[in-house]
Amino acid sequence: MTEIQPLVEMRGVHKNYGTLQVLSGIDLEMRPGDRLVVIGPSGGGKSTLLRIMMGLEDIRRGEIDLLGKRYITGHEQSGKTRIDSTLRKQVGMVFQHYTLFPHLTIISNLTLAAIKTRGMSKPAALDKGMQLLKRLGLESKAQSYPSQLSGGQKQRVAIARALMLDPRLMLFDEVTSALDPELVAEVEAVMLELAEQQMPMMLVTHDMWFAKNIASRVIFCAGGVVVEDGPPEQVLGDPVNPRTREFIERVFHIKT
Amino acid sequence: MEYEFQFHYILQAWPVLMEGLKVTVQLTVIANIIALTLGFVIALLVLSKYWLLRAPFALMIELFRCTPVLVQILWFFYCVPILFGIYLAPLPMGILALGINLACFNAEAYRAAIQAVPREQLDAGVALGFSPLQRVRYVVFPHAFRAALPVLITNGITLFQQSALVAIVALSDLMYMGRQVATQSYRPIETYTAVALIYFAISFPVSRVAAWVEQRLDAARA
């Protein structure tokens, strides 16, 4: 199936914070429609991987292609990272903490970037924003401010805000870990709906049940490299690598 | 003390004092407008990653914060025309001196507020595709302005009071007019008491507004 152009291609991505090596050579390929869940011990570079993909971090070495075009290049000699900001607009991201703009209403949170960075007209943006809110059952909150919403509602609005911009790839960085347990399901439901619509996504989560449900592929990251890569049944159910096995056993032990 | 207060002198001089107050308010309002905008720009420059942009403005802030306002006013009135060939009428010159002074104090308030903008808010700005300038406009400024607002208002009132110093260069503000009235009427006690009360009557309510704003912001954060 080599004729299908990969959505993302990472080659030899290295990242360090000062002397701390976080990623030491990540090679990764994502095909359109892939829902890639990244699991692994904390400090293993999961979130860093997503942040790099969003163009939020410099990389020391390596290159990333998106949609067949060069997206990010790390130049080791000059210490500079080149990021194509046009391609970056094809990527959307939702963060762990609610990052809605507190001074704007919900509907303005949705429309601002669409109008200012994508050149959408105001009526069109409002229309699209209201449609998205309707889909999420949040249309009554359009004129509310983020502080008047629950954590789960805020996180759903944050997802809608990213979807406003028609991303070709969505990144979810532990989007439910700051939520009260009873609010997690409503956010996960939105993500599962997106999965059904074949939205390509890359997500970091600690919720193994959710990972199993949403993933088309799971990678286990530890020590700055991809240790294991495969379908969820294999990586979560019957991992090959002893490090993955140990991690999975420990995580599922706590759960039962 | 056997002093007999004679306040009818004040009533007579009231229109003159009000004329002075008008100049004082003009001076304060325009200087504040300059300082609220210029202060933010200076704060951004001081936070720049380029040393060449940072250094001169950091020096400017320290110069204005570490010298008496009175000296700054005199310096502007006597040295700016000679050194830079800029000749302005007393009022614009007073506005310029006080405006730049206040801008430096506001820049410090903005700087702290800009540094306190949550990292994830900036990340979200990048993720949504905002250009660096748009991030400043739509993310950094709203956050920083709200966080700095109580200090900005307090700085603004302080300037209102310090503006009395321009009387020394014969700008006909409230203080200058008060001094005229006091010498002409030989009633300094009544006059300066009235002048003080006028300053207070304006400063006090505004400082209550600042306190109220601060409370509201604290409540919004909680």
The domain spans of chain A are 100-166
Whole-number Å distance between alpha carbons of B45 and B172:
35
**Average pLDDT along chain A:** 89
Say yes or no for a CB contact (<8 Å) between B220 and A147: yes
- Residue B62 neighbours by CB distance under 10 Å: 12
Give yes or no for residue A176 having a pLDDT over 60. yes
Give yes or no for residue B221 having a pLDDT over 80. no
- B62-91 residue pLDDT tens: 999 999 999 999 999 999 999 998 888 889
Q: Give the largest Cα separation in chain A, rounded.
A: 55
Interface subset of A 33-72, CB within 8 angstroms of B: 51, 54-56
Report the residue of chain B nearest A110, measured CA to CA: B128
Give yes or no for residue B175 having a pLDDT over 80. yes
**Average pLDDT along chain B:** 91
Give yes or no for residue A255 having a pLDDT over 70. no
Whole-number Å distance between alpha carbons of A116 and A96:
25
pLDDT (0 to 100) of residue B123: 94
Q: Are B177 and B20 in contact (CB under 8 A)?
A: yes
Q: Are B147 and B116 in contact (CB under 8 A)?
A: yes
Establish if B134 touches chain A: CB-CB under 8 angstroms. yes
- % chain B with pLDDT above 90: 74
Domains, in order of start, for chain B: 8-221 (1.10.3720.10)
Establish if B196 touches chain A: CB-CB under 8 angstroms. no
B-chain CB neighbours of A168 within 8 Å are none
Cβ-nearest to A101 among B126, B131, B139 = B139
- A200-231 residue pLDDT tens: 999 998 888 888 889 999 999 888 889 888 88
A-chain CB neighbours of B124 within 8 Å are 93, 95, 99, 101
pLDDT (0 to 100) of residue B36: 96
CA angle (B63 as vertex; B58, B67 as ends), nearest 5: 150
Average pLDDT on A149-162 reads 92
Report the residue of chain A nearest B129, measured CA to CA: A89
Strands A169-173 and A91-94: parallel
Give yes or no for residue A4 having a pLDDT over 60. yes
When comparing pLDDT for A255 and A64, which is higher?
A64
Cβ-nearest to B124 among A95, A103, A165 = A95
- % chain A with pLDDT above 90: 45
B-chain CB neighbours of A147 within 8 Å are 220
Residue A15 pairs with which residues in a beta bridge? Answer: A23
Residue A72 pairs with which residues in a beta bridge? Answer: A64, A83
Cβ-nearest to A113 among B118, B128, B142 = B128
Cβ-nearest to A92 among B127, B139, B220 = B127
Please give the DSSP secondary-structure letter assigned to residue A236: I
Please give the DSSP secondary-structure letter assigned to residue A149: S
Establish if B146 touches chain A: CB-CB under 8 angstroms. yes
Say yes or no for a CB contact (<8 Å) between B126 and A55: yes
- B100-134 residue pLDDT tens: 999 999 999 999 999 999 989 999 999 999 999 99
pLDDT (0 to 100) of residue A131: 92
pLDDT (0 to 100) of residue A6: 86
Q: What band does B10 get if pLDDT is binned at 50, 70 and 90?
A: confident
- B35-70 residue pLDDT tens: 999 999 999 999 998 999 999 999 999 999 999 999
- CA distance, residue A112 to nearest chain B CA (Å): 9
Establish if B116 touches chain A: CB-CB under 8 angstroms. no
Q: State the ipTM, two decimals.
A: 0.87
Give yes or no for residue B31 having a pLDDT over 80. yes
Give yes or no for residue A256 having a pLDDT over 50. no
Give yes or no for residue B171 having a pLDDT over 90. no
Lowest mean pLDDT among A206-215, A244-253, B203-212: A244-253
Say yes or no for a CB contact (<8 Å) between B120 and A165: no
pLDDT (0 to 100) of residue B8: 82
A-chain CB neighbours of B126 within 8 Å are 54-56, 88
**pTM of the entire structure?**
0.83
Q: Are A8 and A29 in contact (CB under 8 A)?
A: yes
What does each C-alpha distance from A50 to A76, A219, B111 come to in angstroms? 21, 13, 30
Helix B90-115 to helix B141-162 angle (10° resolution) is: 140
pLDDT (0 to 100) of residue A3: 63
Report the residue of chain B nearest A162, measured CA to CA: B128
pLDDT (0 to 100) of residue A116: 93
DSSP state letters, B116-178 = TS-HHHHHHHHHTT--HHHHIIIIIHHHHHHHHHHHHHHHHHHHHHHGGGGGGGT--SHHHHH
- CA distance, residue B136 to nearest chain A CA (Å): 13
- CA distance, residue A84 to nearest chain B CA (Å): 11
When comparing pLDDT for A172 and B167, which is higher?
A172
> What is the residue type of B18?
M
Establish if B118 touches chain A: CB-CB under 8 angstroms. yes
Give yes or no for residue B2 having a pLDDT over 80. no
- A116-139 residue pLDDT tens: 999 899 999 999 999 999 988 899
A-chain CB neighbours of B127 within 8 Å are 54, 56, 91-93, 95, 162
